Amino acid sequence: MRDEIKITESLLSEIAALRQQVAEFESLQNGHNRAEPALEHNSDRPTDVVDRTTNAFFEAWSRPLVEQAADAFLVVERDGRIVDVNQTACDTLGYSRNELLALTVPDVDMGFDLKEFTEVWDHLIPGVPITLEETYIRHDGTVFPVEVRSSIIEVAGLQRLLVLVCDATDTKNTEKELVRLERLRALGEMAG
């Protein structure tokens, strides 16, 4: 925990220093417009450094949250390719991260149809999730029910589908047991 605090403090300090450099740069630029042609060829402007540092800071904090999630997390391209996963997805589906990243949704979702998928994609609104019940296939071939909550996300101008997958095996087993108990109760009432 102390290491995380030190890293955070270090990153915040670096961001503050870079912002100061940006402010100084902008001040100099206002008085020295002749420097613009040289700056156009420089890909390492202070604002670029701030953006990269901010992204690194966000990644440093967000990735552990994703990895700690109880549900499987997949990021999917429009063509069905899986481009990112968390450890829960690996554990739930029985694949390594690299194996999952080499797969497409049809490899893990029994009911996946690419044509239907692209039609649904076209009607999704970024940030507005939909929930579906599907059947997934583990690496060992076992099938299991899942609840899938999906939403289009936009990152750096690219649209991807964020898919949160919850193993619904326990829920389905509980539902079956409730139906069984209800039938027994009804039979008891008829006999009594």
CA distances for 110 relative to 32, 105, 133, 138, 139, angstroms: 62, 9, 11, 10, 13
Sign, CA dihedral 130-75-85-101, equals: positive
Question: With bands split at pLDDT 50, 70 and 90, how would you rate the model's confidence at 10?
Answer: low
State the pLDDT at residue 192: 66
pLDDT of residue 175: 67
- For the entire predicted model, the pTM comes to 0.62
Is pLDDT above 90 for 149?
yes
Going by C-alpha positions, the residue among 118, 148, 153, 114 that lies closest to residue 134 is: 148
Q: With contact defined as beta carbons under 8 Å apart, do 93 and 72 qualify?
A: yes
More confident residue, 181 or 44: 181
